[in-house]
Amino acid sequence: MLIATAATLFALGLLGIIVRRNVLVMLMCMELMLNGVNLALVTFAQQTATAAGAVLVLLVFVVATAEIAIAIPIVLLLVRRKNELDVDAYADLKG
Amino acid sequence: MIETWLLWLFAGTSVAAAVLMLLLSHPMRVALALIATMLSLAGVYALLGVHVIAVFQVLIYVGAVMVFMVYAIMLLDVGDRALTRRFSRLLLPGVAAALLFLAILAHALWSALPAANGVSGGAALFGLKQFSLEFLGVYWLQFELVSVLLVAVVVAALAVLEVGRKYRG
Percent of all residues in chain A with a pLDDT value above 70, rounded to a whole number: 97
Per-residue pLDDT at B169: 59
Same domain? B40 vs B78: yes
Residue B103 lies in a domain: yes
Nearest to B53 by CA among A48, A44, A66, A38: A38
Which ipTM did the prediction report?
0.91
pTM, two decimals, is 0.88
Residue A29 near residue A13 (C-beta atoms within 8 A): yes
B70 domain-assigned: yes
Q: What's the gap in Å between the CA of A82 and the closest CA on chain B?
A: 11
Note whether A46 contacts B48, CB cutoff 8 Å. Answer: yes
Instruction: State the total domains in chain B.
Output: 2
Confidence (pLDDT) at B161:
83
Q: A83 and B80 in contact by Cβ < 8 A?
A: yes
pLDDT grade, residue B12 (50/70/90)?
A: very high
Residue B40 banded pLDDT, cuts 50, 70, 90: very high
Q: Using the predicted structure, report yes or no on whether residue B118 has a pLDDT greater than 70.
A: no
Same-domain check for residues B71 and B117: yes
Q: What whole-number distance in Å separates Cα of residue B151 and Cα of residue B155?
A: 6
Same domain, B163 and B108: no
In this structure, the answer to whether residues B38 and B116 fall within a common structural domain is: yes
Q: Which domains does chain A have, with CATH numbers?
A: 2-87 (1.10.287.3510)
- Residues B72-91 have a mean pLDDT of 76
Q: What is the distance in angstroms between the Cα of A16 and the nearest Cα belonging to chain B? A: 6
Nearest to A84 among B22, B80, B93 (CB): B80
Beta bridge partners of A86: A22
pLDDT above 80 for B23? yes
* Residue B22 CB contacts under 8 Å (≥ 6 apart), including other chains: A12, A15, A16, A19, A20, A29
Question: At B70, which CATH number?
Answer: 1.20.120.1200
Q: Is residue B12 part of a domain?
A: yes
Residue-range definition of the domain harbouring residue B90? 2-126
Q: Tell me which of B88 and B61 has the higher pLDDT.
A: B61
Selection from B16, A65, A88, A44 nearest residue B24 by Cα: B16
Q: Give the residue on B whose Cα is nearest the Cα of A54.
A: B53
Task: Give the 3-state secondary structure of residue A90.
Answer: helix
Residue numbers in A near B87 (CB within 8 A): 19-21
Residue B76 lies in a domain: yes
Q: Is the pLDDT higher at B9 or at A88?
A: B9
Q: Return the DSSP state at A89.
A: G
Using an 8 Å CB-CB cutoff, list chain B residues near A12: 15, 18-19, 21-22, 98
Find chain B residues with C-beta within 8 A of A62's C-beta: 146, 149-150
Closest A-chain CA to B51: A54
Q: How many residues in total does chain B contain?
A: 169
Confidence of residue B125 (pLDDT cuts 50, 70, 90): low
